[in-house]
Amino acid sequence: MTTSMATVLDPGAFAGSVYSGGWVKPRGGAAPIVEPATGAELGTTGIADAEDVAAAAAGAAVAQREWAAATFTERAAVLRRAGTLIEEHADELRGWVVRETGAVAGLAAFAVGVAAQECYEAAALASRSPGEILPTTEPRLSLLRRVPVGVVGVISPFNVPLILSTRSVAPALALGNAVVLKPDLRTPVSGGFAIAAVLAEAGLPDGLLHVLPGGAEAGSALVTDPSVRVVSFTGSSRTGRVVAELAARHLKRVHLELGGNSALIVLDDADIERAVSAGAWGSYLHQGQICMTAGRHLVHEGVADAYIEALSAHANALPVGDPTGEVALGPLIDAGQRDKVHELVTSTVDAGARLAAGGTYEGLFYRPTVLDGVRTDMPAYANEVFGPVAPIVRFSSADEAATLAAESAYGLSLSILTGDAMRGLALAERIPTGIVHINDQTVNDEAVAPFGGVLDSGTGARFGGSANLDAFTDSRWITMRGQIPEYPF
């Protein structure tokens, strides 16, 4: 059973259901889909339990065999068509991203554009060389061949779910796998149902993609199910550790894209006006609910006063409100996230920091915040805030900046703003991180680029280009002889 974009964007099409070769009622019940900006109920989603996951994984394993045997041109055609459909239905998809996640219009448009590009890049991936000829000392042909892993489990978060689901689902399918996707219960449409509808309309055969929103029970079942051979997880570092430990006990390969507390370094020769704009964008885009958000502003003491004054003025001027209107920041995802952000801000101020801007909220709308006089042991500096907060620490030398930036459990993205790009690149070499942007802020994403962090931010680049080949295929050694050799016994 397939569906269409026209029906999936109507909440009545999936009321209380999950997508598993069609709309089915799960065993775990149902939950409302709530618009964070207004509190309005957008629809209801089904909640998958362990039995639902087991049934989906078993069905995916059966369907995958025929899909793996399909030609690369057949798989590529589906992914190309999916990218086209995302662009054709961009208005509807943007609407769901805005209302479901609280993203402003610009970010929603970016998410739709990247999701389409992920499908186009996945289509190209289908025709990549499946292996190589290996040297051998024997009179035989020795080959390395990449083969699909089988069933891929994908767990995606609430913040930018259209991108963070598609970037695993699309390449996994293009390479001949089936997928069981568990999006966050708060964002099941843009994180899953809409993707399923796009792919179904694009011609993906039934049974290859299952979308099962659920909680911890469904997540654990997905990681441990014997049919699922690879798990792609995007989420918090805390939950990522749980996923990794569970996967290890079941000898599963797991790819982890986790949290961040990325440093934005402003050197003394930087263009301060542009640095402030970059810093504001890096910290306040999508209310700071992005893993790459600039969580620590390290500013040279010679320009710090000017930087803080200008950044505070930027923060005070940014409009915050319903993202369907002309605003720069929308709401945080829910009250729990808002309270966490506010606790980190207030405890940092109580510890001696100066509140230079923000630090207040109405409902789920948190004002963009600037914290001056921050020490490295203060809560808003030492932790991932996941909110619109810019803690600022001053430094006096490049050596001190490198030490400060490197003294973090996280290593996802790094920004260095300077009048001398080569000076910035040399500084970056001293800081462990998966991504570096010289003279740009920390939040960047392109489907063609490898993406991933080190340390507590994840297990390295697992998305983009060749990284997808490593993530979603197994390497098989094959030899062939003209005749059977003779052996001593």
**Inter-residue contact 180 to 56 (CB < 8 Å):** yes
- Give dist(CA 144, CA 478) in Å, integer: 6
- Give dist(CA 299, CA 235) in Å, integer: 29
Catalytic residue among 121, 201, 291, 384: 291
- Give dist(CA 395, CA 267) in Å, integer: 9
- Give dist(CA 218, CA 11) in Å, integer: 23
Catalytic residue among 35, 121, 257, 384: 257
Give the C-alpha distances (Å, rounded to integers) separating 61 from 176, 209, 378.
Answer: 11, 11, 49
Q: CB pairs under 8 A, 24+ apart, for 88-96?
A: 89/5, 89/9, 89/198, 92/5, 92/9, 93/162, 93/190, 93/194, 96/9, 96/189, 96/190, 96/194
User: Is 132 one of the catalytic residues?
Assistant: no
**Inter-residue contact 294 to 325 (CB < 8 Å):** no
- Give dist(CA 264, CA 276) in Å, integer: 11
User: Is 291 one of the catalytic residues?
Assistant: yes
Task: Give me 369's structure tokens.
Answer: 């915040």
Task: Give me 265's structure tokens.
Answer: 């370094």
**Inter-residue contact 370 to 312 (CB < 8 Å):** yes
Give the C-alpha distances (Å, rounded to integers) separating 367 from 252, 290, 331.
Answer: 42, 16, 10
**Inter-residue contact 219 to 153 (CB < 8 Å):** no
Ramachandran angles phi, psi of 424, nearest 5°: -65, -40
Element (H, E) at 366: strand 365-366
Indicate the pairing of strand 253-257 with strand 354-357.
unpaired
Task: Please choose, from the candidates 417, 418, 464, 460, the residue with its C-alpha nearest in 3D space to the C-alpha of residue 435.
Answer: 460
- Give dist(CA 99, CA 95) in Å, integer: 6
With H, G, I as helix, E, B as strand and everything else as coil, classify residue 20: strand
- Give dist(CA 168, CA 463) in Å, integer: 7
Q: Would you put residue 257 in left (φ > 0), alpha (ψ -120 to 50) or beta?
A: beta
Ramachandran angles phi, psi of 445, nearest 5°: -155, 130
Any idea what DSSP says for residue 371?
E
Task: Give me 412's structure tokens.
Answer: 């996802």
Active site residues: 257, 291
